[in-house]
Chain A
């Protein structure tokens, strides 16, 4: 069964450093998403991406964040200058289309720790 994969599974970085989280969505899916979960809090939407551009972003997704689909398979989330409060589990998801309520398939997550 096709699945979403994410690398790395864990990342430790120093405050102020740049990190890139990588995701490989399911191959025939067209919509991609990033969510995050700060420890003990809800899973929160960050951004959705379609046709090589952001379709929606939350207020969390400020100028420190960017997303890119650098090739036909990868989807990346970059945090330019990490802050302590960026420590969280980051989930990538994909769906076939972006129809409202369509099932999103999630990866295993990357746990980011900013020191």
Chain B
């Protein structure tokens, strides 16, 4: 069965530091992978997505993610975090034979000044 695991519930980083949020998925075929961000009072905003091709994908707000099939991972990275990046981040998987998404539990990012 399809599933997504985000091992880190909370992460705190200093402003300007690099960030990596982990996401592991379980899916038998080639997945479609997404990262969404939710700021307080806002909806789930799409950061980036992987469908096929280049395994390193660029998204909005300076985020990138790398698909590693061998590790069933799709980790989100940002080289230098800004205070406005404080939010909750969700990884999700979709697939060819279904149109619903499976989400991880989310990772809450706190940014220290």
Q: Please tell me if the beta carbons of A42 and B105 are within 8 angstroms of each other in the complex.
A: yes
Give the distance in Å from the alpha carbon of A3 to the alpha carbon of B104 in the complex: 23
Give the distance in Å from the alpha carbon of A105 to the alpha carbon of B45 in the complex: 7
Shortest beta-carbon distance from A47 to chain B in Å: 9
Interface residues of chain B, those whose CB is within 8 Å of chain A, are 4, 31-32, 34, 36, 41-46, 49, 51, 90, 92, 94-106
Given known pairs A101-B94, A103-B49, the reply for A42 and B99 (CB within 8 Å) is no
Q: Please tell me if the beta carbons of A102 and B43 are within 8 angstroms of each other in the complex.
A: no
Nearest chain A residue, comparing its CB with the CB of B45? A106
Contacts of B32 in A (CB 8 A): 100-101
Give the distance in Å from the alpha carbon of A4 to the alpha carbon of B86 in the complex: 22
Contacts of A103 in B (CB 8 A): 34, 46, 49
Give the distance in Å from the alpha carbon of A40 to the alpha carbon of B31 in the complex: 25
Which has the most chain A C-beta neighbours within 10 Å: B44, B96, B106? B44
Contacts of B94 in A (CB 8 A): 100-102
Let me know if A91 is at the binding interface, CB within 8 A: yes
8 Å CB contact of A48 from B51, B100, B104, B106: B100
Let me know if A104 is at the binding interface, CB within 8 A: yes
Give the distance in Å from the alpha carbon of A106 to the alpha carbon of B55 in the complex: 25
Contacts of B31 in A (CB 8 A): 101
Contacts of B95 in A (CB 8 A): 100-101
Given known pairs A100-B94, A101-B51, A106-B36, the reply for A45 and B100 (CB within 8 Å) is yes
Give the distance in Å from the alpha carbon of A77 to the alpha carbon of B100 in the complex: 17
8 Å CB contact of A44 from B43, B97, B98, B103: B103
Give the distance in Å from the alpha carbon of A4 to the alpha carbon of B43 in the complex: 8
Which has the most chain B C-beta neighbours within 10 Å: A3, A42, A91, A99? A42
Let me know if A51 is at the binding interface, CB within 8 A: no
Given known pairs A91-B44, A100-B95, the reply for A33 and B34 (CB within 8 Å) is no
Contacts A42-B104, A45-B100, A100-B96 supplied; 20 other A-B pairs, CB < 8 Å: A3-B43, A6-B43, A31-B99, A35-B101, A35-B103, A40-B105, A41-B105, A42-B103, A43-B90, A43-B106, A44-B103, A45-B102, A56-B98, A95-B99, A99-B99, A101-B31, A101-B51, A101-B96, A103-B34, A106-B36
